[in-house]
Amino acid sequence: TLFTKIKDFKDTNFEAFFKTTFLILKLLNKYKFFMFSFVEISRNYSKISTSFIELQKKKKLQFSTFHKLLIMQGFIKKETYKGLYDTIILQSNIISNFCFSEGEILLKNKDTEEEKLVKYTETVALLIYPYLTEKGKLEFLLNWKDIFDYELFS
């Protein structure tokens, strides 16, 4: 199954990125009922709000480190303006945290849970695609096909 492939890391940068994104989304999907009411819950329970803010800071640090690693390896271009990759991290968090609300409305009974997770993983992953070098685009697409068994842009 896809989940078995996801858990079997070979530890390339894009592979780790795709698999980590998929696993985070899988976890969020498991508790999507919580995410549907998250704003209200976080307003009423400051400890949850504080924990969420800390988690977002950790995710930002992890993705920032990931972007720096990709730049050093020549897979992604340097920022064309200061804060570009921070903006991409924010977009990624917004999509990851709230995609299930959208899915419940627009994708209900259309896709399996796994298909939705792959679709959301693709959406998050493609945020960085325009900023990849040619070398990075090749590596990105090869890793994607290897994991998800289909070609992007075909």
List, for residues 1-34, the tens digit of each pLDDT value.
444 544 454 455 888 889 888 988 898 888 888 8
Q: Work out the average pLDDT over 57-80.
A: 88
**Alpha-carbon span 32 to 69, nearest angstrom:** 31
Q: Is 100 exposed, middle or buried (0-12, 13-18, 19+ CB in 10 A)?
A: buried
Q: Work out the average pLDDT over 97-103.
A: 81
Identity of residue 81: Y
Q: Which of 48-62, 102-116, 130-144 has the lowest mean pLDDT?
A: 102-116
- Alpha carbon 78 to its chain centroid, in Å, reads 20
Q: What is the pTM of this model?
A: 0.81
Angle at 122 between CA 120 and CA 127, to 5 degrees: 105
pLDDT in tens, 140-151: 999 999 888 889
Whether pLDDT at 97 is above 50: yes
Q: pLDDT class for 108, splitting at 50, 70, 90?
A: confident
